[in-house]
Amino acid sequence: MSENVVVIGGGPAGIEASRRLRDLGYTPILIEKEPVLGGHLARWDRLFPDGVEAHTVLDPMLQDLDGIKYFTDTTISSINRLKDTWVVKLSNGLSAQVRAILLSTGFDLFKAEKKEEYGYGIYERVITNAELEDWFKAGAAPQFDGVHTIGFVHCVGSRDEKAGNRQCSKVCCVTAVKQACEFKEKYPEVTVYCFYMDLRMFGRKFEDLYLKAQKEHGVRFVRGRVSEVSEDIDGHLFVKAEDTLFGKPLKIKMDMLVLMCGMAPADGTSELARMVSIPVGEDGFLVPASIVGAPCVAPRDGIFFAGTSTGPKTIPETLGEASAAALAIDRYLKTPARR
Amino acid sequence: MKERILAAYDPFVLPFVFGITFVIGYCLLALFKVLVQLSPADRRKFALSLITPSAILKNLRDLFCDCLLHVKLWKRNKVLGYMHSSIAFGWFMIIVIGHIETVLYIPERLHKLYYPIFFRFFMEEQKQTLQGSFFFFLMDFFLLIILSGITLAIIKRFRSRIVGMRRTTKLTLTDLIGLYSLWAIFPLRWIAEGFTAGVAGGSFMTIPINWILHNFMSKPENITVAWWAYSLALGTFMTVLPFTRYMHIPAEILLIPMRNAGLPVRHTRKGFTLAMLYSCPSCGVCIDACPMGVQKKNVQDATVYMVRNLKRRNQQRSLEIAEKCLMCGKCASLCQVQMDACGIRLAYRTAQEKKNNRLPADFSYLNAIAPQQVGEEKVLYYAGCMSSLTPVISRSVQQVLQAAGVPFELMDRDGSICCGRPLLLAGRRDEAQQLIEKNRQLIEKSGAQILLVSCAICYRIFKEQYELIGVEVVHYTEYFNRLIAAGRLSLKNSHETLVYHDPCDLGRGCGIYDAPRQALAAVGQLVPALKEREESVCCGGSVGSLTLRYEDREPITRGSIENLTANNPEQIVTACPLCLKTFGRFAPVPVRDFAEMLVLNLETNKNDTK
Amino acid sequence: MIDFGYGLTPSATLRIENVQNPLFEELHRREPDVVKCISCGSCTASCSAGCFTEMSLRRVILSLQRGREKEILPMLQHCMLCGKCQLVCPRGINTRHLILSIGKVYGLADQKEEVRP
């Protein structure tokens, strides 16, 4: 009988790592707190940089779960150390004794209502990037009449001490540009603004997407962080920012505003970290043994990481790290105990 | 024995005579200094209050209640109250009774300063004084009371938690000399009077001592030694008194009538402020009161240490302390001598800005702003600068007004002129005055009769500095509470548990505690915070602090939230945009604005704010 | 070398390599936050005085860093110290203290600072 490995979090990282572990001859026990596997990827419509549909990435993974025991709607009740093993108790009453645990707990989208000055939850026409993705996925038009101007606000809950997130969320810049392009493809007559602090187009083809947004779609990029949003009687929004390159403040009337919510540490992560006695960084993400040399390995025997539990990452980075984590677990389990 | 009674003098009285002469002389000089430093107008005001019968009565009552009985301290902490009033009142009574005895039996000796104090040494129990057994009893009774107070004081010094104080003041060397000599005075007096009780008479305290002493060391020389020790303790205490915290004992006698005369703080260490500095008893209540105290490094910035640095003319530290303070006013509201801690800091900041700001303000651009015509039937609503960052407040206020059918107009739809309080708090008084002037023009010319304000910071300066003619300034908590009382708002009670946070400027600043609570009781179930009302803990976001860094504000906010959530409320409600924003960052439960809370529970609105 | 007059004129270039800036050092000592700015412009956009004037704190900070204070000091005179910029700043800069400190370190009038009030 093959050895069990517990994988906590059934997003892309957890699924991919489970598949790799299975290929290496282990029996992964994959635990997901939501009713379905797939994490945020299951909600997303299309992916940057080339606009592939998210389900074309996720579906093959979900169809390949043979040999993986997975539990949805399940959380971790407790984890205890017993000699060189971990005893993991699940909320469904089951428990497992394993030598290795993979924490692929992912991220939470930053709660936009925390940036109250943007009026999310107060103004109807302020939505989040995830809600826009829902619309795209449903194929539904924006529910508001007469949308002529929309704005994307970058760095909502990213690079923001006041929001408690100092880190850059890495993916929002390119997501905003992707969504801006998609919006223009659907509604070419709408004027689209992107309010950014720095455009971090770091990945392959990201810059191409940026160029496309400028050249083909005429997306208007304004270098300035939105400071406040007000609303008139008809529900139109007034967005205030400074065009820092021009050096003058702006006040633009908008029909819709999309907040690019960044990645915040997932809710239960610190609790799990406490259960297995590993440190949580100042930013709330998990801390690997070496952020450069051993990003998948925790500073504690038998605990491994994959994906955004250790900080914002793109999908390909997450999948790559999941494979790397599976290999790291394999090597750990095959190395005879030193004690 | 006879000779000491006849001579009515013994060298041991000299330390006491020196001490009392010194302390009286010093206090007279200090009094003179304070009076000279007052501005002529303030001096007139003060003099006038001293001859106004109602003010005299109030002064006497306050002197009796505050200096002798420590009524304020009793209300706060019974143990500390007893400790202070036992010593103060007991000592006062002993002095008074000593004088009464002298007046009754040897009036011709009254002119000798020391005589009533060392009465027992110079007296023989005779037929004439036998009638004084009543006084003997009183003397011993008050001595017992004082000794019990001293015992508490000793316990407090070493175990301050027993009397409910987390932190207590770090004393200086002179303070310690004063403290130990004060502690020594009464036990020594007990022993000294015990020695002479056989001759001079005594009661339940002194007679047993006399019996013990008589049996073990009845040599007459020892009598003088004991009285020398007693006099030395007294003399030491009085000589160091002006340089210790015990200066508050004489200083308060001056401070109380000055405060009752309504004098303002005008200077950082002169005049009225000097009287205040002298009056600080260094009790350290302000240390535990200060919300910044959650970080140990800020303990040194408590008001008691500001006073100490001001007294020592340590300008650098005084400035740091003055600029760091949140100006929440909690220490002042708990202070036993009602030290105007914020006023002194403000005076410091103002002096500093006047001297050193080389960038004079230019608000000429405000001239272009013309007043809106609102009309008297409408309420003029001033949301304030901060509220544009908390849209939920201005939106909810408008929704409530609409629900109640109150016609209104927004004063600052297109950008507001600041109310001036942030400038005032930064020490730029004249600049603030320019904004006040402009806003006053705009408000008065609008024709509105009611100015509705939803920001606690704005509200305070509108109340304190604006003197608007024909316009009533009202905070939205008061106004909405009125609307509820008048039946103009139909609300449902969600029965959720709420905790209300008193914003500093609204509560301690303007005394509004009940209106928001009454209104909130209509929509939910109020649970108390650990400390509230006058003792509410600043959210940490205050514009009052100039130098406190963002990362150092977080612990204050967390401390305040801890205080609020002690009884596990489901929501935190506040009535100030700054508190709302500050709490929102770290609170574990939803933080709501007061108006938002009402909107959420409007009968007609069915829980829909969108 | 003959100067044909086609070079960049000194006024047209920003000579940051030559900035000797004891004043900025002093400002930095008083308010270390001055170097934390990422020029996002939130402060300028939300500025109460900015509704009516040219006031831009972002430009102020940048100009000070570049040693070009003369251009921006007058706009600081419009500041009402309302503190909105402090609330919106993503870096948590203590903007009010920064502005107060600039008034003392730089300043228009020729006047010496005293610590004594």
C1-30 average pLDDT score:
73
Both structure tokens of A148: 């002529």
Which helix (H) or strand (E) segment holds residue B51: the answer is none
**With 70 as the cut, is the pLDDT of residue B129 above it?**
no
Does C7 fall in a domain?
no
| Alpha-carbon torsion angle B25, B31, B36, B37, nearest 10 | 120
Q: Which residues does chain A have within 8 Å of residue B389's beta carbon, measured at their own beta carbons?
A: 116-117, 228
What b/e string do you get for B248-257 counting C-beta neighbours within 10 Å, with b at 16 or more?
A: bbbbbbbbbb
Subunit contact B423:C33, Cβ cutoff 8 A: no
| Residue C8 confidence (pLDDT) above 90 | no
**Annotated domain spans of chain A:** 4-106+266-334, 112-262
Average pLDDT over residues B213-230: 76
B6 vs B353, residue with greater confidence: B353
> Could you tell me what percentage of chain C is helix, strand and coil, using 3-state DSSP and rounding each to the nearest 5?
50, 0, 50
Mean pLDDT in residue range B49-64: 91
Tell me what the mean pLDDT of segment B50-55 comes to. 91
Contact call for C46 and A160, based on CB within 8 A: no
Q: Which residue in the block uniquely carries the two structure tokens 């997407």?
A: A209
Residue C13 lies in a domain: no
Residue B1 is predicted with a pLDDT of: 54
Percent over 90 (pLDDT), chain B: 61
Q: How far A131 CA lies from chain C's nearest CA (Å)?
A: 24
A126-128 β-sheet, strand order: A126-128, A256-261, A149-156, A191-196, A220-223
Q: How far apart are CA A49 and CA B92, in angstroms?
A: 86
CB contact under 8 A, C115 and B319: yes
pLDDT higher than 50, residue B49: yes
pLDDT at residue number A15: 97
Task: Pick the closest to residue B324 from B553, B546, B542 (CA basis).
Answer: B546
Q: Which two tokens stand for residue B436?
A: 């006040």
CB of C100 within 8 Å of any CB in chain B?
A: yes
Asked if the C-beta of A224 comes within 8 angstroms of chain C's C-beta atoms, the answer is: yes
Percentage, residues of chain A above pLDDT 70: 98
The answer as to whether C66 is a domain residue is yes
Residue B515 corresponds to which tokens in the numbers above? 């209106």
The helix (run of H) or strand (run of E) holding residue B380 is strand B379-382
Q: What is the pLDDT of residue A219?
A: 97
Chain C: closest CA distance from residue B421 (Å): 8
Q: Any chain B CB within 8 A of the CB of A126?
A: no
CB-nearest to B360 from C33, C77, C100 is C77
Q: Residue B23 corresponds to which tokens in the numbers above?
A: 């302390």
Please report the sign of the dihedral spanned by the C-alpha atoms of residue B84, residue B87, residue B93, residue B95: negative
* pLDDT value of residue C117: 47
pLDDT in tens, B275-319: 999 999 888 889 989 999 999 999 999 999 999 999 889 999 999
Residue A326 to residues A1, A14, A84, A312, C6: CA-CA distances in angstroms? Answer: 19, 10, 19, 20, 64
CA distances C7 to A205, A244, B562, Å, are: 39, 28, 65
Instruction: Tell me what the mean pLDDT of segment B33-60 comes to.
Output: 92
Asked if residue C116 is part of any domain, the answer here is no
Residue of A nearest to B608 (CA): A122
CB atoms within 10 A of CB B44: 11
Over the stretch A290-337, which tens digit does the pLDDT of each residue have?
A: 999 999 999 999 999 999 999 999 999 999 999 999 999 999 999 876
Q: Which domain range does residue C93 map to?
A: 21-105
Whether A310 and A286 have beta carbons less than 8 Å apart is answered as yes
Average pLDDT over residues A214-240: 93
Report strand pairing: A303-305 vs A101-103: parallel
Task: Please report whether residue C2 resides in a domain.
Answer: no
Q: Which residue of B has its CA nearest to A126?
A: B610
Domain membership flag for residue C82: yes
Q: Chain C: residue nearest B270 by CA? A: C117
Q: What is the pLDDT of residue B118?
A: 84
Question: What is d(CA B68, CA A233) in angstroms, rounded to the nearest whole number?
Answer: 63
Confidence check: pLDDT of B373 > 80 = yes
- Evaluate whether the domain defined by A112-262 bears CATH number 3.50.50.60: yes
Task: State mean pLDDT over C18-28.
Answer: 82
Mutate to test the interface with A, among B385, B386, B387, B392 (most CBs of A within 10 A): B392
With contact defined as beta carbons under 8 Å apart, do B464 and B343 qualify?
Answer: no
How many angstroms separate the Cα of B345 from the Cα of each of A294, B201, B321, B591? 54, 54, 8, 31
Does B607 score more than 70 pLDDT?
no
**Can you read off the two tokens belonging to residue B540?**
């940490």
CATH architecture of A4-106+266-334: 3-Layer(bba) Sandwich (3.50)
Supply the pLDDT for residue B204: 82
The enclosing H or E element of A85 equals strand A85-90
Q: Which of B340, B410, B349 is nearest to B381 (CA)?
A: B410
Q: Which chains touch C (3 or more CB pairs under 8 A)?
A: A, B
The mean per-residue pLDDT over the stretch B128-156 comes to 83
* HEC-encoded secondary structure of B153-196: HHHHHHCHHHHCCCCCCCCCHHHHHHHHHHHHHHHHHHHHHHHH
Distance CA B435, CA B421 (A): 9
Q: What is the mean pLDDT of chain A?
A: 93
Residue B74 CB neighbours (<10 A): 16
pLDDT band at B75 (very low <50, low <70, confident <90, very high): confident
Say if the Cβ atoms of C81 and B355 lie within 8 Å. no
Same fold, A4-106+266-334 and A112-262: yes
Q: Specify burial of residue A37 (Cβ count, 10 A radius: 0-12, 13-18, 19+).
A: buried
The string of pLDDT tens digits covering residues B531-584 is 999 999 999 999 999 999 999 999 999 999 999 999 999 999 999 999 999 999
Number of domains in chain C: 1
**Angstrom distance (rounded) from CA A159 to CA A172:** 12
Between CA B589 and CA B301 the distance in angstroms is: 31
Residue A105 token pair: 């707990």
What is residue A73's DSSP assignment?
Answer: S
Average pLDDT, integer, range A236-250: 93
Q: Which residues of B touch A228 (CB under 8 A)?
A: 388-389, 391
Q: Kindly determine whether residue C41 and residue A161, on different chains, have CB atoms separated by under 8 Å.
A: no
Indicate the SS3 state at residue B28.
helix
pLDDT for C27-81, tens place per residue?
999 999 999 999 999 999 999 998 888 899 999 999 998 888 888 899 999 999 9
- Cβ separation of A249 and C44 shorter than 8 Å? yes
Task: Tell me the residues of chain A between 19 and 78 that have a Cβ less than 8 Å away from chain B.
Answer: none
> For A42-90, how does the pLDDT look when each residue is reduced to its tens digit (9 = 90+)?
999 999 999 999 999 999 999 999 999 999 999 999 999 998 999 999 9
- Asked if residue C30 belongs to a domain, the reply is yes
- Kindly calculate the radius of gyration of chain C based on its CA atoms and give it in whole angstroms: 16
> Which candidate from C94, C100, C107 shows the least CB-CB separation from B426?
C100
Residues of A in contact with B390 (CB under 8 A): 116-117
CA distance A225 to chain C (A): 5
Given this model, what pLDDT does residue B606 score? 45
Nearest-CA residue of chain C relative to B267? C117
The encoded tokens of residue A256 equal: 């819709």
**Segment B21-37, tens digit of pLDDT:** 999 999 999 999 999 99
C-beta separation of A92 from A74 below 8 A: yes
> What are the tens digits of pLDDT across the range B409-444?
988 777 778 999 999 999 999 999 999 999 999 999
**C60 within some domain:** yes
Q: Which residues of C touch B315 (CB under 8 A)?
A: 115-117
